[in-house]
A and B are shown apart, each in its own frame.
Chain A
Amino acid sequence: MNKRFEKSQKYAIAVLAHVALLLVWYLFVVIGKVPHFIMPSPVATFETIFTPTYGWVNNILVTATEIFGGYFLAVIVGVGLALVFSWSNALETVLMPLLVSLNMIPKVALGPLIIVWFSYGILTNSIIAFSIAFFPIILTTARGLREVEPDLLDLVRTLKGSRWQIFTKIQLPGALPYIFAGMKVASILAVAGAIVGEFLGSSKGLGYVMLQVQVNLDTAGMFMSVIFVTLIGVALYGMVVGLERLFVPRDARVQ
C-alpha cells in the first residue's frame, strides 16, 4: 500500500519534471525573445508534427528499423560469441584480444568505408549501429559468464554435475544481470550509431531530415527530429529494462 503510493508518487514526479522542462523551455524562448531559428518554442516544435512535408511516419520507421535492427543483431552476435567463448578457451584466447583491438577503432570512422562496401541505406546504418553496440554486450556477457563462485562450482562438482548443468543452472542465470547491463549501454550506442550513419549518407530517416532542414534553418524541424530519435531510444531502453525486470530479481541487477 505504502510502497505503491511511493511508486505512483515517483512516476508523478517524473512526469512533472518533464512538464517543467517544457515550461522552462517555453518561458525561456518567449520571455527571452529568442529568435525562432536559434531556438523554437515547444509549441512551434510540436506544430511540425502536423506538417506533412516532413514525412515523419516514414522517417521514424526508417530510423527505428536501423536502430532496432542493428541493436538486435548486436545482442544476438554479442551474446552468442560470448557463449561460444565460454565453451571454447582456444577461441577466446585467439579472438578476444583481436576484438579488444577492434573495439579501439572509432567505429564512426569506419562509416565511410561501410558506405563504400554496402552503399548507403538502411542496411548500412544498421551495420554501423551494430558495430558500436556489439562490444559492450560481448564484453559484459563474457565477464558475467566468467564470474562464477569457485565454491559453487565445487558444490556442483561434488555432485558430479555436468558442464551443461553448471552452464544452465549457474553460469547463464548468473550472467543475466551482466548481459542486461551491457544491453542497456548498447541501446544508447545503437541510437547514436544509426544517426551517425544517416549523417554520413542517407536519403531517408530522422538524421536525413535533420540535414535537410538545416539548410533552411528550420530549427523546429530539427528539434522535432531530435525528440523523435530520443523517443525511439527511450522505447528501446524501456523495453530492455522491462525484460530485465522480468528475468532478473532486483538484488541481482548490476548497478
Chain B
Amino acid sequence: MVTEPFIHLANVRKAYRKGEEEFLAISDVTFDVMPGEMVSLVGPSGCGKTTLLKILAGLHAADSGEVRVGSAAHSFDPARDIGMVFQQPLLLKWRRILENVLLPAEILGLPMAESRDRALELLALVGLSGFEDKRPYELSGGMQQRAAIARALIHNPKLILMDEPFGALDALTRENMNLELLRIWRESHKTIVFVTHSIAEAVFLSTRVVVLTAGPARMADSIPIDLPLPRRLDVKTTEVFGTYTRRIYQLLGMG
C-alpha cells in the first residue's frame, strides 16, 4: 500500500504585491511530505522559506499551484492542526511558563483541566519540569525555546512548522536542542517542517532536505536523508553525512 503524502505542493508560486509592483518570492516549488516526516527547508536568506511556511500555515494564499495539507488517511483541520515555533520564543512576559504553554488551548477553547495535565506532560517532554511557575525572564534562551515548542504541541496538532527555531542560540545549546527535537519528534510522531540556514542541522535532523535556491525560490532538489534513527551527534563525522552536506552545498552553488 502506498501512503499518500501529508503535504503536497506542486508548482507553487507566490508574489508579494505592493500597489502596482510585484515581488516574486516563490517562483516554482514542488515537493511532498509524508506523514510523520521531518523535513528541512534550506536556502539562502530571502529565498522565500518563511513565505513557504506561511503558505503551509494558511496565513498566505499561493498565487498559483497546488497546496494540499492532509490526506484521506490523515485528516487535517487548519484551525487545530498547526503548531508554530519561531526564531524568537515569543513567550508572553506577563504569563508564567505553564500559562504560556496553555495559550493555544485557551484560544481554541479546549477543556482547561485536561490541557493543564497535558501542558505538564509536555513541559516534562521538553525537559522543563519544575519550571511551570517561572516567568519567561527566569529561563535561558534555550529553555524559553523549549517552552515555545511545548506551546506548539499543546493542542496536539498534526503539523509543526518551525522557522529557524534555534537560530538565536549558541552553537552548543543548538546541538543539544537538535538532539531534543529529534527525541520530541520521535516521541510525538508529528510531521515537522523545519526552516534553517544550517546545512549540517538540516541533514542531521531530517528525513528529507528540501533545497531552495536564491529568490524567487525555486526548488533545487528534495533529498531523502538515509541516516539511521535515533541519531547521535557523532553521525556528523561520518562519510555519508559529509556526502549529503557536500551535495547540498553544491546545489546552493557553494560547493
Contacts and interface: CB of A to CB of B under 8 A. Distances in A.
Interface of A: 149, 151-152, 154-161, 165, 169-170, 173-174, 176, 248-252
B59 A154 contact: yes
A149 B54 CA distance: 16
15 contacts: A151-B90, A154-B59, A154-B84, A155-B104, A156-B107, A158-B58, A158-B79, A158-B84, A159-B104, A159-B108, A174-B92, A174-B94, A249-B94, A249-B135, A252-B93
B155 interface: yes
B82 A251 contact: no
A155 B135 contact: no
Given A161-B107, A251-B137, A152 B90 contact: yes
A145 to B, nearest CB: 15
A251 B96 CA distance: 13
A158 B57 contact: yes
Contacts of A155: 84, 86, 90, 104
A156 to B, nearest CB: 6
A165 B107 contact: yes
A252 B90 contact: no
Interface centre among B54, B80, B92 (most CB of A within 10 A): B92
Q: Which secondary structure dominates where chain A touches chain B? A: helix
A96 B34 CA distance: 52
Given A158-B58, A159-B155, A252-B94, A151 B88 contact: yes
Contacts of B133: none
B137 A169 contact: no
Interface string B110-138: 00000000000000000000000001110
The 6 closest A-B pairs by CB, nearest first: A251-B137, A160-B79, A252-B93, A161-B107, A158-B82, A151-B86
Q: Which secondary structure dominates where chain B touches chain A? A: loop
A175 to B, nearest CB: 11
Contact of B57 (A152, A154, A169, A251): A154
A159 B135 CA distance: 24
A252 B94 CA distance: 7
A48 to B, nearest CB: 46
B132 to A, nearest CB: 16
Given A151-B88, A154-B59, A251-B137, A169 B94 contact: no
Contacts of B107: 156, 159, 161, 165, 169
Interface centre among B103, B136, B155 (most CB of A within 10 A): B103
Contacts of B226: none
Contacts of A165: 106-107
A52 B57 CA distance: 74
Contacts of B137: 249-251
B191 to A, nearest CB: 15
Given A154-B84, A158-B82, A176-B94, 16 more contacts: A151-B86, A151-B88, A151-B90, A152-B90, A154-B54, A155-B90, A158-B57, A159-B79, A159-B104, A159-B107, A159-B108, A169-B107, A248-B94, A249-B137, A251-B136, A251-B137
A174 B94 CA distance: 8
B93 A249 contact: yes
A87 to B, nearest CB: 19
Contact of A169 (B80, B84, B106): B106
Contact of A157 (B59, B88, B90, B108): B59
Interface centre among B78, B86, B94 (most CB of A within 10 A): B94
